[in-house]
Amino acid sequence: MSLITTFDSGEFTGWAQGRNGRLLAAGLVHVFPHKPMGQLPMAQGGIVTIEKPVHRRNGRTVDPNKMITLGIKVGRLVETYLVLGNEVDVIVPSDWKGGTPKEIQNKRDQGAMTPEEMTIVGPVINAVAESYRNNVWDAIGIFFWTARRQKERT
């Protein structure tokens, strides 16, 4: 199975990476709008899944100016990973978690992790400010969702 790299776009962007359905790494990176995109996980010839922001008409929404900035970030991620020869898929939150609230989905993903994966993720989560941890957990959830989809295709 190909290397899978996933992103939860936000002011600080969570990412996860693994192979054969096993999480190998995760983290958080700040993608600055006026600087080259550094500190991203390398991926060449793999599968990249990027969550794009969604404007919710009824419910909690984000400032439209932040939505534009996030949309630009998603476009930059797409271009970066396409240039590296990856298959890139852009999704919305409901694609990977349906209508499940973030807190519930994050707990489910934590429960699905092996002890080895928790050993990888634990120090990363502890090093991230609590207000940004959800970005890493969402990237991990997107990773597991992408891995299941790839398994179903083979």
pLDDT-based confidence at 121, cuts 50/70/90? very high
Distance CA 36, CA 33 (A): 8
Residue 90: strand, helix, or coil: strand
| 47-51, strands of its sheet edge to edge | 22-29, 13-19, 4-8, 47-51, 87-91
The answer to which of 65-69, 119-123, 134-138 has the lowest mean pLDDT is 65-69
Residue spans of the domains in the chain: they are 4-153
pLDDT tier at 153, thresholds 50, 70, 90? low
**Residue appearing with tokens 């476009």:** 75
1, pLDDT greater than 70: no
Average pLDDT score over residue span 57-70: 76
Note the CATH number of domain 4-153.
3.30.420.10
**Band of the pLDDT at 87, cuts 50, 70, 90?**
very high
pLDDT tens digits for range 14-62: 999 999 999 999 999 987 777 777 788 989 999 999 999 887 666 666 6
Answer yes or no: are the C-beta atoms of 134 and 12 closer than 8 Å.
no
Query: Considering the chain, what percentage of its residues have pLDDT values greater than 70?
Result: 94
Which pLDDT score, from 0 to 100, does residue 55 have?
74
CA-CA-CA-CA dihedral for 1, 120, 54, 47, to nearest 10: -20
